[in-house]
Every structure is written in C-alpha cells, then in structure tokens.
Amino acid sequence: MKIHVINHHFWPDGSPSAVLEEELADALRQMGHDTVLVAGSGSFHDLDRPAPQSPIIRLTSGEAGKRDSQIDILRDYRLFWKAVRSYIREQVGPEDAVLATSSPFLNVFLIAGLHRRAPGVKTIFHLHDYLPSNLRSLGVLYRMAAPFVKRITDHYLQKWGRVISCAGNIAYTKDNCVVARFWPTITADENRHMASGRRALYAGNLGIAHDVTSLVDAMDDLHGQGWEIDFYGDGPMVSRLPAYVNRHPFVSGEEYIDVLYGHPIHFVTGVGRDGTGAFPSKTHNSLYIGAHVVPCGFSPEMVEELDYLRTVPDLSHNRWVAAEAVSEYLGTPAEPALD
C-alpha cells in the first residue's frame, strides 16, 4: 500500500500545513508505511529547511502563486484541484490509500473521484480547518452561505473513511471523525532560556479571517506598559497594525528559533465571530518553549482548547498520536518502507 499525501504545498515551502503534513508522513514512514507527498506547482513561502524523508511529486498545475486577492487564491485552488484529480486517475490504485488535507478546502470533494477510480482505496481527510465555521468570520454574504456550505461539506466529509481533526474545537464531529491534535514544528533546546526583556511577538500570516481588532487591542495594552512589539510575517491585514509595531519578513531555521526565544510573550489570534473552524498551529510552538501565550479574539471553544494544550506534558508527542490514528485505520505494515 502506498499512501498518497495530498496538500497544496510541500518543501521547500514553509506553510504550516506543509511542515506539519511532511512530519506526519515521515512519522508514518518510520512506522513502516510507504508515503509520497503530492503538491502543486505554486508556493506560499519558500523557507530554508531540511527536505522531508518522504519523496515529493510536484504536479504541473499552472498556478500563478499570487495571493493578492481572494480571486487569485480561489483560481489557484481550482487549478491545483484539477491537477490532483488527474493524478488520482493516473497514479492511485485500488490497494493504495489517500490522505488529503483541507489545504485547500476543495480537496474534500476528491472523495467522489476516489470512489469512482478505486473503490477499494483507503481514504483519510486531515481536517486542518473547517470552512463552514470560518465563513462566519467574514462578511454578511459569507455568513448567510455558511449553513448551506456546512451541509455540502459535511455530506462529503462523511464519505471519507476517516476524518482526523487537528484540534478539539473543530465543529465537525460525525462518527468517522477522531481528534488528533497538531504538534510543535520546532525542537526545544534545553540549553536555551526565554529572554527576560519586555518584548512581545506575533509571528505568522495575518489573514482576512483573523480577529485583528482583538490583536491590536492586546498590542496597545502592552505597548502602553512599555513593551516593544515585533511582527514577523505578512498577510492582507498587516496594514491594520499600529505604526509602533516593528515589522519584519518571515524568517526560518535558527533565526526563527532566535525570534521565538527572544520574546517572552507571544500573541496568537483567533477568528472573528466563530472559533469552531480552526486553531492557530503556531500556538504549539509557543507553548512548547515556555512562552507566555496571549490569546486574541478566542471564542470559548478556543479558550477551552488552549487550556487543554497547557496541560499536555509533551506536545511533540501529538505527531505520533496523529500517526497512530492513521496507521490504526490503514492497518500496520509488516516492515518499514525503504527510502
């Protein structure tokens, strides 16, 4: 059995979905499964980091790679989805397994083609975020469409053999769903200690669904107490950050670790109006190294999830929990796969 792991981006791209899914695929590979990573030809953020153990197949999807507008993003989503459907027709056999993620959300509809192409294929959907809930954080028309989108999304999610939810606050809770939480994407250094200066950090993308109002309120509060505020990242909502915020581009590798340890306070931002669609993956890195996490715009469901994560002794073990959930569904292989 070959596991085809489908995600919009993979190495050298540094999007959180890419890094997390590569690490899950490599964990499955270490457990003896044969994994291959399937990505499009576009990119989110190329970062300097080691390549995964699992081989990568890049589809000729024709994506522009632009993220200037929702139209650009949706166009690339559609091109990637079309390329993946062709890949499934040509490369996926009835004895294989497909593990698709919600990056992009159109992947949920792949289940129809999978059932037609290979009725015996094992199917897993790694639910990174839940579109119907996320729509409620946007404009009125999106919120009106959310119930309709939920019916469609749930209809297709229920057709997947197993749905693995990345956080406990995600609203999809049908019988084929299990929760296996995300994990840190860094390695904690026991010889390093958190800086003691008055510096606070927001690191990552700042997108249209983030509750920027709550983030700015939290920044204003600390800035008024004499804290220096740093932002490392980008996104369409960066323009709403106050002028006093020190803006920096994305960083990777050791420089990223230095940034994390150099700020004793880390902001994490939820989505507006509904917190049952996603959970910020970077929260795990901040908790893992001992930073003080300031949640901004967290719904009660997200606060409950954060409180749970604070009690987990070793968040890095979550990767193996997720791998076990996949392996249990697929069946344990007899011997490790060869690289």
Task: Provide the domain limits for residue 272.
Answer: 199-313
Q: For 193-229, what is each residue's pLDDT tens digit?
A: 999 899 999 999 898 888 999 999 999 999 999 999 9
Q: Is residue 335 part of a domain?
A: no
**CB crowding 81-116: b at 16 or more within 10 Å, else e:** bebbbebbeeebeeebbbbbbbbbbbbbebbebbee
Q: Is the pLDDT of residue 66 over 70?
A: no
Cis before 16? omega within 30: no
Q: Residue 70: its pLDDT value, please?
A: 74
Q: Is residue 168 part of a domain?
A: yes
Residue 36 sits in the same domain as residue 142: yes
Q: Residue 46: its pLDDT value, please?
A: 76
Q: Is the pLDDT of residue 15 over 60?
A: yes
Q: Residue 170: its pLDDT value, please?
A: 97
Do residues 198 and 226 lie in contact, with contact meaning Cβ atoms separated by under 8 Å?
A: yes
Q: Residue 68: its pLDDT value, please?
A: 62
Give the CATH number of the domain where residue 282 resides: 3.40.50.2000
Q: For 164-197, what is each residue's pLDDT tens digit?
A: 999 999 999 999 999 999 999 998 778 889 998 9
Cis before 119? omega within 30: no
Residue 288 sits in the same domain as residue 172: no
Q: Residue 273: its pLDDT value, please?
A: 81
Among 149, 137, 179, CA closest to 277 = 137
Residue 26 sits in the same domain as residue 155: yes
Mean pLDDT of 311-330: 96
Q: Is residue 288 part of a domain?
A: yes
Q: Is the pLDDT of residue 332 over 80?
A: no
Q: Is residue 337 part of a domain?
A: no
Total number of domains constituting the chain: 2
- Torsion angles phi and psi, residue 9, rounded to 5: -130, 150
Helices 70-91 and 110-117: crossing angle, nearest 10°? 10
Q: Is residue 193 part of a domain?
A: no
Q: pTM for this one?
A: 0.91
Using a 10 angstrom Cβ sphere, with 0-12 exposed, 13-18 middle and 19 or more buried, the burial of residue 23 is: buried
Residue 64 sits in the same domain as residue 172: yes
Q: Is residue 338 part of a domain?
A: no
Q: Is the pLDDT of residue 65 over 80?
A: no
Residue 323 sits in the same domain as residue 288: no
